[in-house]
Copies of this chain bind each other. A is one copy, B any other.
Amino acid sequence: MPTPNIRTLLASTSPQQDITVQGWVRTRRDSKACTFISLNDGSCLRELQVVADHTLPCADLYPKILTGASVRVTGDLVASPGAKQSYEVLAKNVELLGEADGTYPLQKKGHTPEFLRSISHLRPRTNLLSSVFRVRSRMAFAIHQFFQEQDFFYVHTPIITASDCEGAGEMFRVTTLPQGSNAKPDQDFFGKPAYLTVSGQLQGETFACALSRIYTFGPTFRAENSNTARHAAEFWMIEPEMAFFDLDADMTLAEQNVKYLIQKLFETCSEELEFFNKFIDKDLITRLQHTLEKPFQRISYTDAVEVLLKSGKQFEYPVAWGENLQSEHERFLAEEHFKSPVTVFNYPKTLKPFYMRQNDDGKTVAAMDVLVPGIGEIIGGSQREERLDLLEAAMAHHGLDPEGYRWYADLRRYGSVPHAGYGMGFERFLMFATGVSNIRDVIPFARTPGHADF
């Protein structure tokens, strides 16, 4: 039966008689007269102290109340004499729901991230991971709040697709044919080769050209065989798309979006932030506050290249107009040069996909990337090419089959409007928000090359 959670009890404004509370034992400590049980139910970082007298009839159970066990406690919620907590529970009865013996893997504190990943089904019971996943949930909700408050509509773009948005990127194939079958693709479930989406943008655009402001928030996939701390094969992405937005409005919305999330982070996750700041990254709160308060700097790609060339800094990858900015370049701009988040815009068109709007200079497109200290790129977006002739020329230049993109071109054929959008990797944002440095530790069950466990 549901009972009040520990977050609610600790937020109580007065003592309460005869409450029931349920949770998992973090530690047990025995004194002469009493047993102290530190109880957590995941509703918040803090634990509720249960004081269980040795004269209670249930006292013979206490030795079995080990770390990891689950209990149901009835008693009175009273002001705590201890400094660590405002309230504690004086138990009238303690019931052991589920034991945990000495083989329970989370006995002691201080496990390595690698070990915790190997027990991904139990690691949300630790302070670090439970905090990360509370933040993940509250930030996901804040994303919906941000967009819904501004009349954006949430669109579920398809996961299974027969087209490749970026015209690049390794994709997973989806099939019902047995491994090794020689059947032709037209015998497969969808009658043609099908893949897992790398982006919902193109389908999102069709809805922006009908409902004006939309966003997606769903899983996306990359079959890249790269084992880095920043890459996963399955991750969640937020992709807003807005009719009647130009690049400038796009950059403004992206900045508002990041700031709104950080504001909500301070409002709803203050305990977790203090925990991360203490144990994960001592500069976290300062950096987030900074990001919230300072206007994001804006600089064109061309000017950014100038800044990098004049920096006198030795980079691993060379800097030259027409080359991609590498992570080291992005971090130099945000962390050393501007010392703040920075939006770089108007990239060379040779670096960017076919759908970005060509600028009048003929060399650049109306693209933008938001770079933040400690992470680098957190958002990438652009104004889309709304002129049919230029879009068709760009598709031809990129070697795309116009027939496959006819529906996409239709948006320019019938009532075309200027529109823009961006993508934010949710895990990338969470790493920025928590200071956690490996993407595997902000995803419930990470999928990477060789790993699809649980």
Contact = CB atoms under 8 A, between A and B. Distances in A.
Interface of A: 1-3, 5, 7-8, 22-25, 41-43, 68-70, 72, 97-100, 103-104, 119-122, 124-125, 130, 133-134, 136-138, 140-141, 144, 148, 151, 153-163, 170, 172-177, 179-182, 185, 189-194, 196, 203, 206-207, 209-213, 218-219, 221, 223, 225, 233-234, 236, 242-246, 248-249, 386, 407-408, 410-418, 443-445, 447, 449-454
A444 B203 CA distance: 9
29 contacts: A2-B242, A2-B244, A22-B417, A24-B210, A25-B415, A41-B243, A42-B210, A97-B415, A100-B415, A120-B206, A121-B206, A121-B411, A124-B211, A133-B211, A134-B153, A137-B148, A138-B148, A156-B444, A159-B234, A160-B172, A160-B221, A173-B179, A174-B174, A175-B175, A176-B223, A180-B182, A190-B451, A194-B452, A219-B219
Contact of A415 (B70, B159, B191): B70
Given A134-B211, A137-B153, 4 more contacts: A1-B246, A133-B207, A158-B452, A203-B445
Contacts of A153: 42, 133-134, 137
B1 A244 contact: yes
A440 B218 CA distance: 19
A241 to B, nearest CB: 12
A15 to B, nearest CB: 22
Contacts of A176: 170, 172-173, 223
A179 B206 contact: no
Contact of A243 (B22, B122, B151, B194): B22
A97 B417 contact: yes
B98 A42 contact: no
Contact of A211 (B68, B99, B130, B407): B130
A245 B210 CA distance: 43
B173 A416 contact: no
Contact of A158 (B144, B173, B234): B234
Contacts of A5: 151, 212-213
Contacts of A140: 144, 154, 156
Nearest to A252: B2
A451 B218 CA distance: 21
A221 B159 CA distance: 10
